[in-house]
Structure 1
Amino acid sequence: MRLNRFLAAAGIASRRGADELIAAGRVTVNGKPCRDFHFQPAPTDHVKIDGKLIHQRARIYIVLNKPAGFVCTRRDPNTTDTIYHLLPLKFSALAYVGRLDAQSEGLLLLTNDGDLAQRLTHPRFKIEKEYEVVLDRVASSDLPQRLSRGVVLDGKRARAKRVQQLSPTRLRIVLEQGINRQIRRMLERFGFHTKKLARIRTGHLRLGDLPRGHWRM
């Protein structure tokens, strides 16, 4: 982990802010100023800013089964039902990974691990997200193929990686993209409305039997 990421992970500053601290000579490693942006501190190194020893924060990972009706934000003037009201106050600084819209439910990861958050959300890593969807009416026989072929949303080809029909009105859809409200908007293009949408997996992380509104570490 490079020095700026080390400082950012410790909650000292953003990466850009950490770069400024390094450039100003305020960061020392084992008693010596370090202006090398590519330096990677070892676990035994003593990193200080203005003489104060920097400790790495413990990494925290929370899996929440978000209920429908709760919004992914810390504050919303229009509602008190935010995901952070489902968690103890001590977790209020954690960032959520992969927003779910208010009416969607299911797996939501919250963490202070910025590297993991970037890996799970950046398109280049192609992390799979799996959803179960309930439609407002019986699916047409060609709907899975049409979802796999995709449609253009926001100037991009939006498509499902895999689609499995579980029942006449239920689908399991796997995405690698992260386009806003992708599943709902794709289905609307084909004349279907989504009655229920639940994320059940992100990468290797599964929701399992976690009850709605509950969380686990």
Structure 2
Amino acid sequence: MATRINKYLSEAGYCSRRRADKLIEEGKVTINGKIPEIGTKVGDRDLIEVEGQRIEKSKKQRSIYLAFNKPVGIVCTTDRRVESENIIDFIKYPKRIFPVGRLDKTSEGLIFLTNDGDIVNKILRARNNHEKEYIVNVNRTINREFIQNMSNGVEILETITKNCFVKQLGPKKFKIILTQGLNRQIRRMCESLGYRVQSLKRVRIMNIRLDIPTGKYREFTKEELLELNQLLENSSKICE
């Protein structure tokens, strides 16, 4: 059965479909020695290569799902040409894995890594009710007006952010739960209100909480993975 090239690469555990499309656009993917277009389909007899490396799907490949506590300074990319230390080199996991989404270099906390391109696609595709929880410290004292403004939506990037849950935890510290992922959203929201983020840590993604030391990772439990898949299934039905 023919499969779209981006799906093939994700199922082979090489990268997410989104990353695969970018690699195709950059001319780094070939099918039988020729550079394909996005959406090109491949079959079992086709030779798939990325930058000269042959990519094959293993029927016995074990799916890997990791929760990692990313330190500040680590870049969430599989591109080893970046100047700063990237997440793959830092973890040194023995199997090929890639991060799900991003967490800024100056931020820390929970990020997923996997070799399952399908779950990456589901998480990034679904646009509703996928909660991400953060603990944030800012440069000056916050007040009730700040909490209300953050909760009710702030104008950034030519849009208004969605309503969200915000709770003050200290004079300059608060918790925020987002269901959208605009570029540097929390930092931009704070800047729009005259504050500057000094530290930002993601402590939860959906049903999985950060419970490991900085720089360490662990596998999802069976219970976590089951609940995560149930949440993704419900969301994908709503999205469709």
Bucket of the pairwise TM-score, normalised by the shorter protein? 0.7 to 0.9
Please state if 1:73 is matched with 2:77.
Answer: yes
- Look up the SS of the partner of 1:133 in the other structure: strand
Partner of 1:31: none
Alpha-carbon offset, residue 153 of structure 1: 2.3
Alpha-carbon offset, residue 86 of structure 1: 2.4
Partner of 1:4: 3
Structure 1 residues 69 and 160: alpha-carbon distance in aligned structure 2, compared to 1, 3 A threshold: farther
List gaps (5 residues or longer) in structure 1.
28-51
Structure 1 residues 174 and 95: alpha-carbon distance in aligned structure 2, compared to 1, 3 A threshold: same
Structure 1 residues 143 and 159: alpha-carbon distance in aligned structure 2, compared to 1, 3 A threshold: farther
Task: Give the AA of the match of 2:12.
Answer: G
Cα distance between partner residues in 2 of 1:12 and 1:166 = 40
Cα distance between partner residues in 2 of 1:146 and 1:53 = 49
List gaps (5 residues or longer) in structure 2.
21-36, 47-55, 220-240
Larger Rg over CA atoms: 1
Partner of 2:222: none
Structure 1 residues 9 and 100: alpha-carbon distance in aligned structure 2, compared to 1, 3 A threshold: closer
| Cα deviations by residue, 1:115-148 (Å, 9 ceiling, x for unpaired) | 2212222342431100000111110221111012
Whether the 8 Å CA contact 1:9–1:56 is kept in 2: the answer is no
Alpha-carbon offset, residue 191 of structure 1: 0.5
Cα distance between partner residues in 1 of 2:162 and 2:38 = 38
Whether the 8 Å CA contact 1:166–1:172 is kept in 2: the answer is yes
Partner of 1:37: none
Cα distance between partner residues in 2 of 1:70 and 1:163 = 27
**Identical columns (%):** 34
Partner of 2:184: 181
Alpha-carbon offset, residue 154 of structure 1: 2.3
Partner of 2:150: 147
Whether the 8 Å CA contact 1:62–1:109 is kept in 2: the answer is yes
Cα distance between partner residues in 2 of 1:125 and 1:3 = 31
Name whichever structure is richer in helix by fraction: 2
Partner of 2:214: 212
Alpha-carbon offset, residue 169 of structure 1: 1.0
Structure 1 residues 190 and 87: alpha-carbon distance in aligned structure 2, compared to 1, 3 A threshold: same
Cα distance between partner residues in 1 of 2:191 and 2:166 = 16
Alpha-carbon offset, residue 95 of structure 1: 1.5
After the TM superposition, which of the residue ranges 112-121 and 180-189 deviates more from structure 2? 112-121
Please state if 1:86 is matched with 2:90.
Answer: yes
Task: Give the AA of the match of 1:197.
Answer: L
Aligned length: 187
RMSD: 2.9
| Cα deviations by residue, 1:13-45 (Å, 9 ceiling, x for unpaired) | 9798896225xx959xxxxxxxxxxxxxxxxxx
Cα distance between partner residues in 1 of 2:13 and 2:130 = 29
TM-score by length of 2: 0.68
Whether the 8 Å CA contact 1:9–1:57 is kept in 2: the answer is no
